[in-house]
Amino acid sequence: MTTPMVKAEDVHKSFGQVEVLKGINLEVRAREVFCLLGPSGSGKSTFLRCINHLERVDAGRLSVDGQLVGYKERAGKLYELNENEIADQRQDIGMVFQRFNLFAHMTALQNVMMAPIQVRNEPKKDVRERALQLLERVGLADQSHKYPSQLSGGQQQRVAIARALAMKPKLMLFDEPTSALDPELVGEVLDVMRNLAESGMTMIVVTHEIGFAREVGDSLVFMDAGVVVEQGTPREVLSNPQHARTQAFLSKVL
């Protein structure tokens, strides 16, 4: 059996007194689109942020491509990674945020070119070429010189996707990528994500877009109150939910 891209074993996370993740177990296979569904506060975003160590896991084991996140294991002992080692781990994991978080003082093109130049010291010329290709891929070749505030939400989010892809990640994390968008702009972002899924990218998507999950997702997990309630293929979970909690949630959003 091949190593799963992400493996979570009994992952716990608390913010102060509040336990947000109460033992998450799941596996994400390479090249699969893995959708996380659930009401707000269920811990799905927190779990996503744990995967690239924007949040530290309190207990349990979380690994990406066979590598523990945030720790290294030597002779049966765990050692915390230092800041720079954590930064290095994040290089291969792309992340797209709900609120885009494009660098406001840079053009779309500069946003995309930033990380490969600063982190990997790649030659500027190559990066520029690749960045332009990526912007073209997300349909924004003609907007490359614009600043984020001159772009619509949908365009910003597509630039954010291109920015993450510029680091050639092996895994892409999407944290409610369409939740901050006007309804009419959601489609263009989902199109880019669908296209990315078809190219074989491993994707973990926290979303409220049931349609997208059903159509593009390979696996679907329903989370509530910090635990995985139900798991399966999108078709199974969405059309035939077993759990009362899942049924109640789906009846409201479908």
Partner 1 sequence: MSNSNEPMTGPVTSADRPAPIQAIPVRHWGQMIAGVIVIALLAAFLYAVATNQNIDWSIVGENLFNSTILSGLWITISLTILSMIIGIVLGIGLAIMRLSPNRVLNSVAAGYIWIFRGTPQLVQLLLWFNLALFFPRLGIGDFSVDTNTVITAFVAALLGLGLNEGAYMAEIVRGGILSVDHGQSEASMALGMRRQKTMFKIVLPQAMRVIIPPMGNDLITMLKMTSLVTVIAAPDLLNRAQTISVRNFYIFELLIVASIWYLVLTTIATIIQSRLEKRFARGIAARPSTRARVLKNLKPGRVESIAAVTEPNATPEDHGVKS
- For partner 1, the binding residues (CB under 8 A) are 52, 54, 83-84, 87-95, 97, 99, 101-105, 114-115, 118-119, 147-155, 160, 163-164, 167, 184-185, 188
Instruction: Write 106-109 long-range contacts (CB < 8 A, 24+).
Output: 106/147, 106/148, 107/144, 107/145, 107/146, 107/147, 108/135, 108/140, 108/143, 108/144, 108/145, 108/146, 108/147, 108/148, 108/151, 108/155, 108/159, 108/162, 109/135, 109/144, 109/145
Closest distance between partner 1 and the C-beta of residue 88, in Å? 7
Q: Which is nearer to partner 1, 43 or 154 (CB)?
A: 154
CB 184, min distance to partner 1, A: 6
Looking at beta carbons only, is 17 or 149 nearer to partner 1?
149
Rounded to a whole number of angstroms, the minimum distance from the CB of residue 103 to partner 1 is: 6
Minimum distance from residue 48 beta carbon to partner 1 (Å):
11
Give the residue with the Cβ less far from partner 1, 31 or 120.
Answer: 120
Minimum Å distance from CB 84 to partner 1? Answer: 6
Nearer to partner 1, 97 or 222 (CB): 97
49, 6 in Cβ contact below 8 A? no
Residue number, 125 or 184, with CB nearest to partner 1: 184
Which parts of the chain fold into alpha helices (H)? 44-51, 83-90, 108-120, 124-137, 153-165, 183-198, 210-216, 234-239, 244-253
